[in-house]
Structure 1
């Protein structure tokens, strides 16, 4: 209005979102990041197929997953014929972190590093996100940054005793 200073609102404009899956091998320091538009069953199935192709000679691939509803063998049956879904599901050992203990998930820790080192900037397109994540993944894999998990079974049971049933 005339006679009043101009007011400018610096409101955040969300221009879309993307999802990414992080697969991390803590003992070798290798990781794989896959960017997708969504995080549904189809994308999760594609991620598992890619992991199975990456390790064709593996007898079992151990997955440590959070409790997200799409992170189950049932997701495979929604997008593959039953025979293929069963075959793929059997390639994996499915281990779930307790609902309120995501800090146990090493991929979550790796995601935290990724967020601090790569994602604290505005990335306007999915292609920009893919480019940044690819560069980050390449550098981390080249450095082979490993995780040596030091929380043993006894310490974990003590720390998480409220999540276990009490036996009388």
Structure 2
């Protein structure tokens, strides 16, 4: 990948990052970001490493280092060190009503030809009864586990 963003740290930024990396009182992400910025510094006090070498040394992907450099150049030091919040929260697809209907179904008699309900049978029946449009077996399993419902 082409080196698009050039990190040049001022003396105060460099001191701040060095203190952050040495203090041991920051989160792991901040520590890694601070070390990465120090290693990528192409200013008068720095000796820049290649992105691949920085990523390898810190145990992150080169894409992470590129994104960090981009945030530093475009938004500044504080934005580069802070973790970005998700754009929007996930929509809740399966709520308590789903759990209740699933539990009721799991406690009912098994279909003809079967001795007991299986997770796959429950998932298929939920779709067949139009309780949900689609559901994975793992979602059914997690829901049953959450409600302490055993199929045995």
TM-score range, shorter chain: under 0.3
Instruction: Point out the structure with the larger helix share.
Output: 2
**Normalized against structure 2, the TM-score is what?**
0.21
RCO comparison, higher one (Cα < 8 Å, 6+): 1
Instruction: Point out the structure with the larger strand share.
Output: 1
User: Who wins on radius of gyration, i.e. which is larger?
Assistant: 2
